[in-house]
Amino acid sequence: MTVFHKIAKGEIPCNKVYEDEFTLAFHDINPKAPIHILVIPKLFATDLQDVDDNTLAHMHKAVKEVARLTGLDKNGYRLISNVGKDGGQEVPYIHFHILGGKKLKWPHLTDEPDPHKSL
């Protein structure tokens, strides 16, 4: 059982932003941007490889709702779903990271040198 199983069941608290029948969205405990919200489905799946299309559609709807509620839809945001070991997934319960609130850098996502620097 992961921490997100417990949050989905209401066994541990979260800083909730949005909830519907199928999904829950809450602030990340260790934010990597001024606004950093996680979206999880209530029906468990491990990751994007595992999740069914219907659940994914509900998660997409929740992302759009969260963006609207927080104003992130105005200037934009980044949507990330880490998958597995190489993807850096720490919690094996599918989730979207919604990141925004400032203009985000892109190269910080990689350990490789910035490919745009030489251009």
- Please report, as ranges, the residues that interact with ligand AMP according to CB under 6 A: 3, 14, 28-30, 38, 82, 88-91
Burial state string for 2-32 with b = 16 or more CB within 10 A and e = fewer than 16: eebeebbeeeeebeebbeeeebbbbebeeee
Least distance in Å: CB of 115 to ligand AMP?
24
Taking the least distance from each CB to ligand AMP, the nearer of 43 and 91 is 91
Annotated catalytic, 27? no
In whole angstroms, how close is the CB of 67 to ligand AMP at the nearest point? 18
For residues 57 and 53, give the distance between their C-alpha atoms in angstroms, rounded to a whole number. 6
**Which CB sits closer to ligand AMP, 44 or 82?**
82
Catalytic positions, written as ranges = 95
